[in-house]
Amino acid sequence: MTIITLYRLCNIGYKPFLFLIFLLLFQCKDRSESSDTGTLSDAIIMHPISHATFILKHKDLVIYVDPVGGAKTFQDFDAPNIILITDIHGDHLSIETIEGLQALSPRIVAPQAVADKIPENLKTNLSVVANFQSITLTLNKVALGIEGIPMYNLREEALEFHIKDRGNGYVLTLDGERIYISGDTEDIPEMRSLKNIDRAFICMNLPWTMPIESAASAVLEFQPKNVFPYHYKGSNGLSDIKKFKDIINSNSSIIDVHLLNWYPNR
């Protein structure tokens, strides 16, 4: 409905109708901040599942990131062509879940530390990617570039949580988009030096990764076009992602922060 039409309706006595239209528009905008689905581009769809787990889909290519929770968690979604795993911890690596998703023999991409924990029967379609290593996979006529990015802790009290060179963040190149997945990390130099990132999934939970202030500082430095806070449940509950968004919005007019529901059962 055009602005002119709304103006005419107002003038002929349809103010209640006009109010209803604006109310619906406001509600639609509000839902977009907490949607269970994130449209990354005209062709890429993202589904948050829980915590560090989500799904990316482009045409007939379906990517599961750190799938945990058992195969039943994904029964309403398309089966994966590719499974990306970032680290060895149980909120990222679930052998049981991977075994339950083997119907279409998805390609598994993981760092060596994860590969060492995967049973031999699951290694047929395994690609090991190290930090700074890049590969390209073409499945169902869709090309996916995958680059391993370091992920590790900086704070003295947290150094043993995620040691350097063990896990992977990833930069994916898909349909012309560069998508950064942080994995478990702090605001490391390798994150801060990223370039031309269209979408960034940034962790922020204490004591295991980093506080929202550190996450915001890094984001403001490498300036992705869009940011999705994820992996934000810490030992004291959920991190204040609205405050994270406020920090970004107060310091940048070009970075969009998207708050999605990563903990549907909370």
Yes or no: say if 61 and 140 are a contact pair by the CB < 8 Å rule.
yes
Each residue's pLDDT tens digit, 161-212:
889 999 999 999 999 999 999 999 999 999 999 999 999 999 999 999 999 9
Give dist(CA 237, CA 59) in Å, integer: 36
Give dist(CA 33, CA 219) in Å, integer: 19
Would the CA dihedral through 125, 170, 36, 61 be positive or negative?
negative
Each residue's pLDDT tens digit, 103-149:
778 999 999 999 999 999 899 899 999 999 999 999 989 999 999 99
CA angle at residue 187 from 181 to 191, to 5 degrees?
50
What integer is the mean pLDDT of 32-36?
41
- Has residue 8 got a pLDDT over 50? no
3-state secondary structure of 110: strand
Each residue's pLDDT tens digit, 77-110:
999 999 999 999 999 999 999 999 987 789 999 9
Model confidence at 34, pLDDT cuts 50, 70, 90, reads very low
Please, which residues bridge with residue 43 across strands?
none
Contacts of 202 (CB under 8 A, 6+ apart): 182, 215, 218, 219, 227, 228, 229, 230
Percent of the chain with pLDDT over 70: 84
* Crossing angle of helices 241-251 and 212-222, rounded to 10°: 30
Tell me the two tokens of residue 133.
Answer: 């290593």
Q: Which helix (H) or strand (E) holds 176?
A: none
Q: Where in the chain are the domains?
A: 34-257
Give dist(CA 45, CA 37) in Å, integer: 7
Question: Is the model more confident about 156 or about 19?
Answer: 156
Yes or no: say if 118 and 108 are a contact pair by the CB < 8 Å rule.
yes
Q: What's the chain's Rg over C-alpha atoms?
A: 20
Give dist(CA 35, CA 123) in Å, integer: 35
CA separation, residue 58 to residues 104, 175, 203 (Å): 17, 8, 23
Each residue's pLDDT tens digit, 36-64:
455 555 689 999 999 999 999 999 999 99
Tell me the two tokens of residue 172.
Answer: 């994916």
Give dist(CA 80, CA 42) in Å, integer: 20
Percent of the chain with pLDDT over 90: 75
209: left (phi over 0), alpha (psi -120 to 50) or beta: alpha
pLDDT of amino acid 94? 96
Give the CATH superfamily of 34-257: Ribonuclease Z/Hydroxyacylglutathione hydrolase-like (3.60.15.10)
